Each structure stands twice: as C-alpha cells, then as structure tokens.
Amino acid sequence: MTTEVRLTLRLPQDLRDRLRDHAKSERRSLNSELVYMLEVGLRSAGVDAESPGGDSASPAPLRGRPDSSPT
C-alpha cells in the first residue's frame, strides 16, 4: 500500500507552464508527470527504493562554484 503525502511546491510560472504542457502531451496530469519525472530522475541517479540515500559509494555532487569553499 502506498502512502501519499501532500507537498506544496513553489515553481516559476514559466516552468509550471512548460511542465503542464509536457504533461498534457504525455496524456498525464501535472501531478502524475512530476511523480514520473522524479522517479526517472532518481533511478538515473542510482537511487532506489531500498536505498533512501542513494549509492553510498557515489559521493553527492558539490554545490556552488568550485572556488566557493572557505579558505
């Protein structure tokens, strides 16, 4: 049994419009398209249902510019 959780997500209007249009072209609701895209993205990133944190052998990507680390 799958538990559903409500989530409020703030998106730029143009991104929301693009997602809605893409969902329509795929004959999905916006919600279904977002769930599908997230599942595909997680799968391609090596994250599966058994591993909430992903593959621990793969380091997480760094954020920010390479020169943004404190000195």
Q: What is the pTM of this model?
A: 0.61
Structure tokens at 44: 């391609």
Mean per-residue pLDDT over the chain, rounded: 80
Residue 60: its pLDDT value, please?
55
- Mean pLDDT value across residues 9-19: 96
Over pLDDT 90: what percentage of the chain? 49
Residue 62: its pLDDT value, please?
55
- Mean pLDDT value across residues 8-34: 96
Dist CA 71 CA 65 (whole Å): 14
CB environment 6-41: b (16+ within 10 A), e (fewer): eeeeeeeeeeeeeeeeebeeeeeeeeebbeeeeeee
| pLDDT for residue 47 is more than 60 | yes
